[in-house]
Amino acid sequence: MAKSWFDQLINATYDVSPGTTTAMFGGWAADNKGCCSGSKLGIFDWRMLSAAGSWSVPAYYNCAKNIRLIAERMARERRAVEASGGGGATTTILPTITPMGATAFSGGRLRSSELFDVTIQLFANGATGLSVFTEQAIDDPGILLAWGEAISIAAGVEDILVNGTVGWDCATVHSGNAVGSSMSLEGRHFVAITPDIVSQWGHASAPPPATVSFSLKADSPSAYELRDLRSPSKPAVRCPAGRCDKQTLTLDSSVGTGGMSAAFLFAPAAS
């Protein structure tokens, strides 16, 4: 019955707008959860959604206040989508986030600047876009600016996000107080480093600065360079033989729209 209904919905959509893709809110590939919102009932399981060409639209309300968990779940979803045949140029993963959903599920409204940190981690773990649940506080200009900055950065590395894979061993955080994530494509790596204090800080004010040490590797004998995507005017850091040995940064809310995350392109150095 569910498949019959879904097929009718797909066909009705095509009749009105040929070539339009239909996606189910909360429909995701990990564990074949399907829709809706990861329901254990599996009314519209992922095999059905995938066969119909539906996009992955996982709902991440319950982990938006836990930067490590949302990074882990996004990377897991990317792997599941690729395993089901949705990788490469056909990859479309639009995780659903909201500034207020965390209030009901995990202990507090997101600060507007925090939306940058959450969004940049989603992109660095395999999201190719966003689905936004609009509700209270969505008209906060700070939220729109934070999303705008994250999307602007992602647009500059779009080929890596769409055609790349999750770079499991590219970024290592030595200080233990931050999440290091990356997407990799043909020797180029999009990297996001986000301090844990972003989600641990329970106040409306900006969190205190965090000093983070990390290293990157690309398994290449070539010289690499590390470019700061939030401050493009900064000179690139040159890294010999495909490695950037321990880098130490003090991350705070003074850059861009206020998010604390660092975002880099780690790629072969220009000759």
Confidence of residue 208 (pLDDT cuts 50, 70, 90): very high
Query: How much is the pLDDT for 41?
Result: 45
Higher pLDDT residue, 250 or 84?
250
Higher pLDDT residue, 239 or 31?
239
Interval 84-104 mean pLDDT: 69
Four-CA torsion 50, 52, 56, 61, nearest 10 degrees: -110
What is the number of other CB atoms lying within 10 angstroms of the CB of residue 196?
Answer: 18
pLDDT of 87 higher than 60: no
Task: Choose the weakest-confidence range: 88-92, 123-127, 226-230.
Answer: 88-92
* Coil, strand or helix at 12: helix
Task: Choose the weakest-confidence range: 14-18, 122-126, 227-231.
Answer: 14-18
The answer to whether the Cα torsion of 195, 92, 63, 76 is positive or negative is negative
Higher pLDDT residue, 168 or 170?
170
Task: Choose the weakest-confidence range: 5-19, 93-107, 117-131.
Answer: 93-107
Interval 68-80 mean pLDDT: 92
Confidence of residue 176 (pLDDT cuts 50, 70, 90): very high
Confidence of residue 77 (pLDDT cuts 50, 70, 90): very high
What is the number of other CB atoms lying within 10 angstroms of the CB of residue 257?
Answer: 20
Confidence of residue 54 (pLDDT cuts 50, 70, 90): confident
* Coil, strand or helix at 233: coil
Confidence of residue 108 (pLDDT cuts 50, 70, 90): low
Residues in the chain: 271
pLDDT, mean over the chain: 84
Domain boundaries, the chain: 23-268
Determine the Cα–Cα distance for residues 58 and 61; give it in Å rounded to an integer.
9
Q: What are the tens digits of pLDDT across the range 210-234?
A: 999 999 999 888 899 999 999 999 9
pLDDT of 45 higher than 80: no
Query: How much is the pLDDT for 137?
Result: 65
Q: What are the tens digits of pLDDT across the range 144-167?
A: 899 999 999 999 999 999 999 998
β 96-97/131-132 pair status: parallel
Confidence of residue 101 (pLDDT cuts 50, 70, 90): low
Query: How much is the pLDDT for 36?
Result: 54
Determine the Cα–Cα distance for residues 16 and 11; give it in Å rounded to an integer.
9
Confidence of residue 120 (pLDDT cuts 50, 70, 90): very high
